[in-house]
């Protein structure tokens, strides 16, 4: 049916007429052959959706949209470049031909999509691993090399509602000192009025103890017929003042107890999102400076440009994430990677020994490696790294050797290690002692022979062509992946709260990233095949 309408705008002399007609959409012709929506549909056709969500109960309320339709919509929204909220996704289902294609014309509301994502949360990591394995199988690749890197994503939390462990500990101690003085004043009050009651002072802060004293004082006031007063013109009795101070201090100590429960052994956290820690971000777009903001440390394991492993925590340091990532990779794929590549932030005694025990060829740099390669000058010749000799002994710039004076066993780590202490016994007569050390006696250094052997092995591997190629590939794959997500997609902060919500959000985004890369790889292979046939 054709409708006629007359445009009110006039161009020159002629009145323009417009005709509105029904349009026939062809998915085969209007959607590109290598569009990511086709990839989403082909991948999900061979998957059983109920391996990842519970099948709907017969007696429960059912949606008019199938779970497969919603599953495809969620995957496409995360594969379609930048982050899309459930409202934006629901809007795209109404007019975007690509979303119509994967959903067969379904137009769910944003609440329907949100409820489905919640159902997907418990098994989202299993979904990610299965899709990664499917992609690897279709491209005939496997994951022997894992390049590891991490970045910090800002949490969906107020950056001013932070809790610091050191400050909380200091404030709690001050409150407890006031409580101890208050108990002494209470005992003096009872002694003054001839009351045979004494309260002891506890060594550890306990708000329940203060509340118990407060309750006893309230009962004592009632027995004496003392009514609590307040406001101008009413003078409070001494016992009422003590009672109110106990209540105030008990409330403070209770607040500090809750804060320590929220911290859970960490140095900091946010009140808005308890699982997020205060991390040092690279740039603050509010204050235009570097500052602490609540966030999460996201670790990606990259293989052939695809995200093959994810680990999320709130630890500001990457050093303690290497072993959990490797263990999770083993759990997901049944084996450890043959080669692991990471930057200097992952090099430690524990990580190197873990790699040696599990036959992982670990390529990384260590802290101070760049300094070792610098030319020795008057300013840096007194550093320990420039005193090591070819025979693993240590000699100061004045030519005096360090002698072993003792050793100890270091147990603060995953694996125990031996620390040897070396001392130079010729510092007393040295004219350059002030340049070398600030110690009153001789200069001492501590070394771990096993760690030094790991460093020698690292230097030897990085000097090979394979080592240089792997370290260059790490920069391209690992840092390039975060660059695409943050710069190209504009995804530099998370929108859900809580560790489980953030894990689901990041995992879905990683699935979308892999599907887009998989689509591009299929297109590149098809183009090369066509060029080969034409030639």
Give the separation between CA 19 and CA 169, rounded to whole angstroms: 75
Region 506-519 average pLDDT: 94
Task: Collect all residues with Cβ–Cβ distance below 8 Å to 70 and sequence separation of at least 6.
Answer: 63, 103, 106, 108, 112, 113, 116
Per-residue pLDDT reduced to its tens digit, 185-198: 999 988 888 888 88
pLDDT for the residue numbered 518: 94
pLDDT for the residue numbered 5: 44
pLDDT for the residue numbered 4: 42
Burial of 180 (0-12, 13-18, 19+ CB in 10 A): middle
Per-residue pLDDT reduced to its tens digit, 64-83: 888 999 999 999 999 988 88
Q: How confident is the model at residue 357 (pLDDT cuts 50, 70, 90)?
A: very high
Least confident of 126-130, 149-153, 412-416, 428-432: 428-432
Region 438-447 average pLDDT: 88
Q: How confident is the model at residue 206 (pLDDT cuts 50, 70, 90)?
A: confident
pTM: 0.86
Residue with tokens 């400076």: 289
Q: How confident is the model at residue 16 (pLDDT cuts 50, 70, 90)?
A: low
Q: How confident is the model at residue 354 (pLDDT cuts 50, 70, 90)?
A: very high
Tally Cβ neighbours within 10 Å of residue 298: 23
Cα 453-458-461 angle, rounded to 5 deg: 125
Per-residue pLDDT reduced to its tens digit, 313-340: 988 888 999 999 999 999 999 999 999 9
> Residue 10: pLDDT above 70?
no
pLDDT for the residue numbered 155: 93
């Amino acid at each position: 049916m054709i409708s006629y309408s007359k445009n009110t705008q006039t161009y020159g002399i002629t009145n323009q007429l417009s005709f509105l007609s029904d349009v026939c959409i062809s998915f085969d012709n209007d959607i590109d052959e290598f569009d990511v929506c086709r990839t989403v549909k082909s991948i999900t056709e061979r998957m059983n959706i109920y391996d990842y969500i519970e099948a709907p109960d017969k007696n429960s309320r059912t949606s008019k949209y199938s779970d497969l339709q919603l599953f495809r919509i969620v995957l496409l929204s995360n594969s379609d470049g930048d982050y899309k909220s459930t409202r934006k996704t629901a809007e795209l289902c109404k007019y975007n031909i690509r979303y119509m294609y994967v959903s067969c014309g379904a137009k769910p509301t944003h609440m329907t999509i949100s409820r489905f994502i919640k159902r997907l949360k418990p098994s989202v990591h299993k979904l990610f691993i299965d899709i990664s394995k499917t992609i690897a199988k279709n491209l005939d690749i496997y994951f022997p090399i894992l390049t590891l890197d991490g970045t910090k994503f800002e949490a969906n939390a107020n950056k001013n509602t932070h809790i610091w462990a050191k400050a909380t500990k200091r404030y709690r101690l001050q409150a407890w000192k006031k409580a101890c003085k208050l108990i002494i004043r209470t005992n003096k009050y009872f002694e003054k009025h001839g009351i045979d009651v004494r309260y002891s002072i506890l060594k550890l802060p306990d708000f329940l103890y203060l509340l118990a004293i407060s309750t006893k004082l309230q009962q004592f006031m009632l027995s004496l017929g003392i009514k609590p007063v307040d406001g101008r013109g009413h003078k409070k009795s001494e016992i009422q003042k003590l009672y109110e101070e106990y209540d105030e201090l008990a409330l403070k100590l209770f607040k500090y107890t809750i804060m320590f429960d929220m911290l859970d052994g960490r140095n900091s956290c946010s009140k808005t999102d308890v699982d997020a820690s205060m991390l040092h971000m690279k740039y603050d777009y509010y204050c235009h400076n570097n500052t602490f903001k609540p966030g999460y440390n996201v670790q990606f394991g990259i293989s052939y440009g695809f995200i093959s492993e994810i680990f999320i925590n709130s630890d500001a340091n990457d050093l303690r994430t290497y072993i959990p990532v490797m263990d999770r990779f083993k759990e997901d794929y049944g084996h450890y990677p043959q080669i692991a590549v990471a930057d200097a932030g992952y090099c430690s005694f524990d990580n190197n020994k873990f790699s040696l025990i599990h036959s992982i060829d670990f390529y990384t740099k260590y802290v101070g490696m760049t300094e070792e390669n610098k030319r020795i000058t008057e300013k840096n010749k007194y550093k320990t790294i420039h005193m090591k000799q070819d025979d693993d002994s240590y000699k100061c710039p004045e030519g005096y050797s360090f002698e072993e004076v003792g050793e100890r066993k270091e147990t603060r780590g995953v694996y125990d290690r031996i620390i040897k202490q070396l001392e130079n016994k010729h510092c007393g007569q040295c004219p350059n002692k002030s340049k070398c050390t600030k110690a009153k006696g001789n200069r001492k250094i501590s070394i771990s022979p096993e760690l030094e052997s790991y460093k020698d092995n690292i230097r030897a591997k990085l000097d090979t062509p394979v080592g240089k190629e792997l370290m260059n590939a790490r920069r391209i794959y690992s840092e390039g992946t975060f660059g695409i997500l943050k710069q190209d997609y504009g995804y530099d902060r998370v929108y859900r709260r809580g560790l489980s919500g953030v894990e689901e959000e990041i995992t879905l985004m990683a699935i979308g990233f892999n599907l887009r890369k998989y689509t591009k790889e299929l297109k590149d292979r098809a183009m090369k095949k066509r060029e080969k046939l034409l030639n």
